[in-house]
Each structure stands twice: as structure tokens, then as C-alpha cells.
Amino acid sequence: MSSAEQHEEPSPGGLPFDSVFSTVTHGWQFDRKVDGACGPTDKDAVRLIWLKNIGRDGVIAEADPENDEWRTDAPERLLLRAGDILLSSVVSGRPKAALVKEADLPAVAVRSLFILRPIHRLSTEHYRLILAFLRSDTVGALAVGGFQQHLRRAQLSELQLPKEDPALAAALSDLAAAGQRLGEMAAEAGALAESAFDRSASQEEVRRLVITTGQLTRLRSLAAAQLDDPSFIIRTRYPYPIALRWRNVEAQRSAEGEADAQSKEYEAVLKAAETLLGYSALVTTALAHEAGITCKAIKAFKGKIATGKGGGPGFGDWQRILQQIGSADGISALPPEHPLHEFADLLADDEAEVACKSLGTKRNSRAHWREDLPAVSASKLKEARDGLRYLLTRARFLADLQLLDVSNVAWDHHEQSETVSFRRLMGDHNVVPTETMRYAGSKRIGEILYLSDRDHGLHPLSPFLTCEKCANCAALSLFYADKEDGTLLQTSLEHGHFYPYVADERALGALRTVGLR
């Protein structure tokens, strides 16, 4: 290994500072007595960027011809380049850090700024992570001094910078965009309220103007407030089978006071719990198959379907798949952003295990009539409902893993990409508009069901989960392979309708390929 390669080798905790930045230079300590001041349009004019020109959001303010300074005597070695990072050496609270862009040039940083020049151009996502880190309390805590606290260049060299992580960078970008949108809405509402009486109008006209103009702002506020309600998130953002089952739970609860209401809600809760585990276990099995990973529980599930011994899969089978996948050989080698890790964490918690076991016992007792039916005690209902809520809360990652039913794929030879038509099966309704997207992944896309991860990678779910119109009720539904009395069935996650697989050799061949036949 060469010395250059050794220099690039990251440490276990992150990237050594000197492996990312080739130089760290102090800003220009120019002398005002030297005649170099000029105007922004003069030949060889270079803008001076001060600490005050950098916002807390990491944006360098646009040039201001009236208030900014330009000079012609800036040293060439200190001229900024696109891709440089400016970091405040004088720190008050969190440090300021900003990325220099082409639009900011020509410019030179002044005095209380460090110029960090990367060894090579970093990706946008990596820049975002490094900037967020440099603006953190971790870096700010290094500053020393009295009234003015300063960072020192030697301290920077000892820092461990974050490694490239596209998923984390995308999440930070989404947070920043969300904060900006909320800030714009708040500013709009404030401006409207402050300008209400800035015109010669009667009080009635002002009231009508505020009500009509402010309607959209109020509706935005109401919509945002709903996102604090876990039930709203489940109904609108979770995968369709789970969202629909939860809507049924809420519908039964709203029927409180009707005869046998508690028993119906109790049954809806147990079905919702089984659908949550079933969906999660089937997606886990599909992801594991794609990654070439398996475990004892997955093998047992496949064996049940392939041989028909012991009937089809149930609550316990789903539970065991989710409990065992986290320790399966090969899972630790998957990238940290791979969705299989999140499914492995779903039941990796004492409280989740207790809730799952309790719901499984209740479900089995209900199925085998080992209960005090038809009445269900309020305490038993509450226990079941609380357990389901806890599991749904732990499964919030499902809101980010989109369920896509691909209906058409067209290959573009010129663009070397596919135009994919799909339905996004998220939320409690299956009648959704068809959307399109460009996809240029390494694998060709089929007209099947996919899971879209946070990086918009597509993971095939078929034939473990398929999407089609139910032969019994004609509703678009998700089906999985089941077995009863030796007969291969497909059973719906949403409503439990089932019927034998159509004698389609292609579909049966897909089942055979993955070990389900």
C-alpha cells in the first residue's frame, strides 16, 4: 500500500481531517493603508467576504454593491475556489460554515475565517454532512479564549469528519427544506396580520380580506397539526394493508355504545396486529432473498408453503422471521441504510417482544375460541390496543419505505433509462392516481410490486407479495402465498379473502424459483 493510500484510509470513527482537506488557511489580514480598494465593476476587483456575510444557515450573502468591499490587491494564493469551505475561527455559540460556489466568485475570505480546501471535489451529500458537522457544538466546544473564543488550526487537524452517508445527507436536506417551508409560511402569516390595516378600508372589508387571503395559511396550519396525531400518520402514510386495518380499528372504536362494539374492536385490533407483522415479515423475506440472506424462520415459512405440512403461515411465523433476521448471516455486511436493518429492529426491544407475545396469545385464543366470548373485557381490549399502538409506533419507518405497484415500464434507448408508471399504495385507500418516474438503476424493472427505500432504490417484493384485483371483491389487494389442506392459495393481507392460485405457469415458476413451491 502506498503512502498516499495510507493517508486516505479512514479511521473507525470517521475520516481524518487531513484526509479530506489539503490545506487550512487563515483569511486575508489585509492592510487598509495600502491602496487597493476599488468598486465591484473595476478590473481585477475581488470581493471581501467577512464572517458577517455568512448566515447561520450556511449561505454566503449575495454581493451588495453599496455595503460590501472590493479590492485589487488580494494575494492570488488566497483567492477562493468553488468547493472551498469557509469556517469561522471566531466562535460565538455554534461555528459558522459555508460552501463557496461559483456565484460567490471572485472573492477572498477575510481575517476571522478559515479556508478549507478539499483534496478532491466532494459529492453534494458529503459536503452537506461535513458542513453540518462543522456547524455543530462538537466543533464549537473546541474554541478557547475569554471574551472572544477562537478555533485553532491544530485543533481542526485532530477532528474526525463524518464519512459519506447518502441517507443521512438526504434526511438533513429534507429537514432543511421543511424548515425553510415552515419559515416561509410563518413569514407569510405574519406579513398578512401586520398589513391588515395598511390600507384605507372599513373594518368589514379588512375582516373579509384576512379571512379569504389567510385561508390557505390556516389550512396549512391545520394539516401540519394533524401530523402530531399518530393515527393520522398511520392512516395516511403507512403501507395500504396496515393503514386500512388501522382505519377499521378506528371505525369500530367510533361505534362504542353499540351492541358487541368492544368485541368487534378487539377483533379489528388483532387483525391489524397480524397484518402489521405479516406485511413486515413478507417484505423482510423478499429483501433477504434479494440480498442472499436467510434464517431458520424464513426456511420454515418456505417449507410450509412448499410442502403444505402444518397449514399456512400465521402470527407466530411472522413473529419468528422478524425476531431472527437481525442475527442472520450476512446482514451485518449490508450497507447501514439498507431497509432490512429497520425491519430487524422492529421487535428488537423488550417492550415490543412483550406486546407481540401478548397479541399473539390473544389472537390464537380468539381463533380457537378459548375466550370469554362474546364479551371482551375493557381491560383486555385496552391491553391489546396499547400493544398494537406500540408496535405501530416502532414501525414508523414504514412511512418512508414506499410501496409501489408498477403497472407499465417503457425503455428509452437514448436516455438509457426507463419510464416507470406506478401506483403508490400508501394510506388507507387503494384507489390512487398513476404516477410516472425515470429510473436508471442497474437492474431492469418489471411490472410487479416494489419497495422504494429512502435513496429511491427499488427492491422487488414479488412473488412474496403480489398486487392484483381480488377475484372475490374486485378491490386492488396485496396477496401472499398460503396453503390449506394441501392446496396452494393466495390470501389477501387487507381483508383475508383467499382462493387457489390461477394455473399461470409464469406465476408458479416464480414461486418455485424462490422456494415457495
- Residue 262: its pLDDT value, please? 85
The percentage of the chain sitting over the pLDDT mark of 70, rounded to a whole number, equals 84
CA distance 487 to 485: 6
Give the torsion sign (CA, 463, 464, 468, 469).
positive
**Co-location of 9 and 138 in the same domain:** yes
Residue 194 lies in a domain: no
CA distance 171 to 169: 5
Segment among 12-26, 82-96, 201-215 with least mean pLDDT: 201-215
Residue 375 lies in a domain: yes
pLDDT tens, position by position, 427-452: 999 989 999 988 877 788 899 999 99
For 231, which DSSP code?
A: H
CA distance 249 to 246: 5
Q: What is the DSSP string of 353-385?
A: HHHHHHHHHHHHHHHTT-SS-S---HHHHHHHH
**Co-location of 356 and 418 in the same domain:** no
Residue 408 confidence class, pLDDT cut points 50, 70, 90:
very high
CA distance 11 to 13: 5
Final residue of a domain: which of 113, 137, 167? Answer: 167
**Co-location of 84 and 100 in the same domain:** yes
For 14, which DSSP code?
A: B
CA distance 130 to 152: 18
**Co-location of 257 and 328 in the same domain:** yes
Which H or E element spans position 134? helix 124-134
Residue 225 lies in a domain: no
**Co-location of 431 and 381 in the same domain:** no
Does the predicted TM-score (pTM) go above 0.85?
Answer: no
- Residue 297: its pLDDT value, please? 96
Task: Tell the residue number behind the cell numbers 429511491, with chain if given.
Answer: 456
**Co-location of 411 and 389 in the same domain:** no
Cβ atoms of 465 and 451 closer than 8 Å: no
Final residue of a domain: which of 167, 201, 217? Answer: 167
The four Cα atoms 131, 136, 138, 144 give a dihedral, to 10 degrees, of 100
Give me the amino acid identity at 1.
M
Contacts of 245 (CB under 8 A, 6+ apart): 268, 271, 272, 275, 276, 494
For 440, which DSSP code?
A: -
Burial, 33: exposed, middle or buried (Cβ in 10 Å; 0-12, 13-18, 19+)? Answer: exposed
- Report helix, strand and coil shares of the chain as percent, to nearest 5: 45, 20, 35
Range of the domain at 61: 3-167
Nearest to 94 by CA among 46, 142, 126, 153: 142
Cβ atoms of 248 and 274 closer than 8 Å: no
pLDDT tens, position by position, 273-290: 999 999 999 999 999 999
First to last CA, the chain: 50
What total of structural domains would you count in the chain? 3
**Co-location of 259 and 289 in the same domain:** yes
Contacts of 332 (CB under 8 A, 6+ apart): none
Mean pLDDT of 233-241: 94
Look at residue 325 and tell me whether its pLDDT is greater than 50: yes
Final residue of a domain: which of 167, 196, 218? Answer: 167
For 372, which DSSP code?
A: S
pLDDT tens, position by position, 31-74: 888 888 999 999 999 999 999 999 888 889 999 988 899 999 99
**Co-location of 361 and 281 in the same domain:** yes
Query: For the domain that residue 152 is a member of, what is the CATH number?
Result: 3.90.220.20
Look at residue 259 and tell me whether its pLDDT is greater than 60: no
Look at residue 7 and tell me whether its pLDDT is greater than 70: no
**Co-location of 429 and 348 in the same domain:** no
